[in-house]
Chain A
C-alpha cells in the first residue's frame, strides 16, 4: 500500500485523554498507529511553542486533548489551552496550514471509544489532506 501515512503528535492530559487512551487499549479498540501521544499533566501546560515545533518538524497534524469543560483535574487548565490553540489556529491559517492540522478535543477518562474514534477520524482526515508542507521546507 502506498497510501500516505501521516505522523500525528497528540499532547494529551494525564487525567482524561491519556486515561481514555488506556481504556481504549484495555477495550482492544483497534486504531491506526499514526497518532503518538505525549503525556502532559494538563493541556494547560501545552506551550504554544511545542505545537509550533511539532508542526515545523514535520508532524502532519497535532492533536491537543484534555478534559471536558468543567472536568479539568486542575479546575480550568483546559480553558486556557483552548485559547492558546485558538490563537495558533488563527496564526497558522495565515501560512496555509489547514486548521484541521491542529485539533482540539475533549475526551474524558471514561470515553475510550471516543478516543479511538477521534484517532481514526483524524488519521482519515489528514490522510485526505496529504503530507504537511513542513516536510519539504528545509527551514525550522
Chain B
C-alpha cells in the first residue's frame, strides 16, 4: 500500500518536473517567436514566426490535457490560416518594406508603455493561481494543503477521452452556438467571394469617378490620390492611364467610355 502510494507520488512529481521543463522551453520559444513576429521587417518572415508561435500554443494545449484542440490548432491555423496569410502576401507582393513607419511621433514608445501597463494589470489578475494548489499534477495530499485556488484537473472530464468529452458538450449543451458558427462560416465564405470579385471599373466600387477625386482635395493629399489611381491602373496596365490626369469637364460617362 505504502510503496504504491510513494511510487504514485514519485511519478506525479516526475511528471510535474517534466511539465516544468517543457513549459520553460516551449514558453521561451513561444514568447520569442511572438516578439520576432512583431519585429520582423519582412511580412513573410512574420508569417513564419506566427507558424512557430501557433505550434508552441498547440504544444501547450497538449500539455494542458486538451488533445483535441492541439490537433485542431495545427490543422486550422498552420494548415489553413497561415497558408492564407502567405498566399495573400505573395499574391500582392508586399513582403518587404519598412516595419515601423508611423506618422505619429513617439508612437512606439507610447505603445510599449501601454503594453506594459496592460501586462501589469493582467499579471495582477493571475494572483490566486500562483499557489502550490494551482499546479494540476501533484499528489492529492499535497494539492489539498497549498494556498491559492485548487486545480481540479481534467482527469475526470477526460475519463472517456478528450475528443469524446468535447464532442458531447458541443452537440448537447452548445449545439445552438455550433449551428450559429456554421451560419457564420457560410456568411464569411460568401463575403470573401463578394469582396474578392474583380470589378471592371473601380468607379463601380467607389461610387465616384476617379478623375474627380483630386479636384476636391488639397495639394497635400494629391499624392495619395495619384497613388490610388496608379493602384487601379496597375490592375490593367494601360487601360485607365488617363485616370491620373487632372480633372476636366467631362462627366462620369465620358471618362468611363475612354477607359473602356
Q: Do A and B come from one complex?
A: no
Q: B-contacting residues of A (Cβ < 8 Å)?
A: none
